[in-house]
Structure 1
């Protein structure tokens, strides 16, 4: 069996595409850390979702790219997606055939399992919130003093319609305004939904090295984004006080089952996250012009399209 199997569509989708997406993000890491949190979040989510988009590329047998590329890109899926002419007496050829079959099935099976696990987590979170019996106060949901809810509860839950959940103690604290602005920023940007999609997608490619760093960046950038919006509304001092008030809550909530749907405290060490957030508050907020912001987003969209279509 020749090395032409390296260019087969299922190999491109199972290996080269996620490797290219993760590798490109790591290659640009020194540049992206200097960007505003919103752009960091967009780039990390784009890198995380690229393999999923590649799997969704339709079968286009008449595309001129099919003959222009030195490999069989996913746009040619179905034309040559298996090893043919295998001699059963040749062990390596037989093994190669099985590997090709695994490369065809494994990504799809992993996606199904990962999203099923994510859906179960969402349902469990919704049930946990329901058991807390929060009462609505405007766009904020307040949880009374119960044994099930931590006193410093402040979270954004839900995918399509995120809700801000606060404990009564947090809602009545001096840091309430900064915390509410922070959580509202999560809800407006639908961070739980994007974190859910990024988590399920990159978890599906568990054999690709370096993917967990992207998950950590998605979560950290979301927190920095929300901190920045709260900072613009309440000032750095107020956000810093709110952050200090939540440090102990991070440790207590680690074993609590009320994390935002789609998020996970395992993506990045809470202490490291708090350090990054504190440093961001101490430094001046990065500012970019409108044309720079849209240039970054356009470049990200082009890169995602190229990788998804050709790999």
Structure 2
């Protein structure tokens, strides 16, 4: 029953998230919307993995700790052939495969991005020059500005971009890229990409990656406009070419929507909107754990508290010596 409830929870979250987290309201709450997407992905992952585990390991077994879990798994393997034990072993194998796929996807996503950035920096080194303000200029005919996260984080500006932008616009896009670096936005994108890589057929995974890529650009735009104004940010986006390398974050990505948002800013969210978003994030994270704890509590109570009529006379049952 616990496994069915957890699978129902995961199905509900995966089905509702794409529609609930893609409305126009998300542009006014980009930070909280990213939190909602990551919370939904984590909630689905924990629920599915826990559901597979609890087919073989009843929630009451958790009270015995690791020894109880291992004993339940060994019992399921030893009884392979019977229907219940076969189902339990199949669920354990499926859970192990999903967990391994998840780990491998995260390692490959983060590893490939890190290797590409190192190679890209090495390729740019002979063609670039370090500016006093801390950014790197590369001689190129396309006007582009992007950042390469990592250690150290690098902001790359082409010579054509320097010629195309006014000093105020250049300062705005530099602040935009530094906001990406300071906010570790590449990690948010990588988490969504790894989840999508683990479950490529899940519509929620594809939508989450696309939305998080869009929302981190809104976050950086907001930081740039705080100091340089929305007009400067919008004009700079228009003048830059949307030619961002694969594992970089670029100032012109998603230009049309971002320009509209800068020129017609969304309504500022109220405190209650932030509280609602924070509450939903907390529910997403706590949901699978709450189901597990409640099931374990009910199972333990049933195992330790006898159910039956009280002894005659309403007193405590006694035993003859």
TM-score in same-fold range (> 0.5):
yes
Aligned residues: 271
CA contact (8 A) 1:136 1:142 kept: yes
CA contact (8 A) 2:27 2:215 kept: no
CA contact (8 A) 1:240 1:281 kept: yes
C-alpha distance 160-144 of structure 1, shift in aligned 2 (>3 A): closer
Which of 27, 38, 46 aligns to 2:31? It is 38
Task: List per-residue Cα deviations over 1:238-293 (Å, max 9, x = no partner).
Answer: 122111112xx22x44xx55534xx9xxxxxx6xx333223312323331345643
- Whether 1:124 and 2:116 are equivalent positions in the alignment is yes
Name stretches of at least 5 consecutive residues in structure 1 with no aligned partner.
68-75, 264-269
Task: List per-residue Cα deviations over 1:34-58 (Å, max 9, x = no partner).
Answer: 642222222223323445566899x
Which of 244, 250, 259 aligns to 2:248? It is 259
Query: Which residue is 1:100 aligned to?
Result: 91
Partner of 2:203, secondary structure, is coil
Query: Which residue is 1:48 aligned to?
Result: 41
Q: CA RMSD in A?
A: 4.1
- Whether 1:306 and 2:287 are equivalent positions in the alignment is yes
The 5-angstrom pairing of residues 1-311 of structure 1 reads: 7=3, 18-26=10-18, 28-29=20-21, 30=23, 32-33=25-26, 35-51=28-44, 66-67=59-60, 85=79, 87=81, 99-118=90-109, 119-133=111-125, 134-137=128-131, 140-145=134-139, 151-159=142-150, 162-172=153-163, 173-174=165-166, 175-246=169-240, 249-250=241-242, 252-253=243-244, 256-257=245-246, 259-260=248-249, 273-289=254-270, 292-307=273-288, 310=291
* Bigger mean CA deviation after superposition, 44-53 or 298-307: 44-53
Task: List per-residue Cα deviations over 1:151-198 (Å, max 9, x = no partner).
Answer: 333222224764322223324532312211221221221101111122
Cα distance in 1 between the residues matched to 2:246 and 2:155? 16
Work out which structure has the larger RCO, using CA pairs closer than 8 Å and 6 or more positions apart in sequence: 1
C-alpha distance 199-66 of structure 1, shift in aligned 2 (>3 A): same
Cα distance in 2 between the residues matched to 1:210 and 1:296? 19
C-alpha distance 27-123 of structure 1, shift in aligned 2 (>3 A): same
Partner of 2:256, secondary structure, is helix
CA contact (8 A) 1:49 1:197 kept: no
C-alpha distance 299-136 of structure 1, shift in aligned 2 (>3 A): farther
- Higher radius of gyration, 1 or 2: 2
CA contact (8 A) 1:227 1:239 kept: yes
C-alpha distance 136-307 of structure 1, shift in aligned 2 (>3 A): farther
Cα distance in 2 between the residues matched to 1:177 and 1:233? 9
Residue 131 of structure 1: CA displacement?
1.9
TM-score (normalised: structure 2): 0.67
Residue 108 of structure 1: CA displacement?
1.8
Cα distance in 2 between the residues matched to 1:155 and 1:77? 49
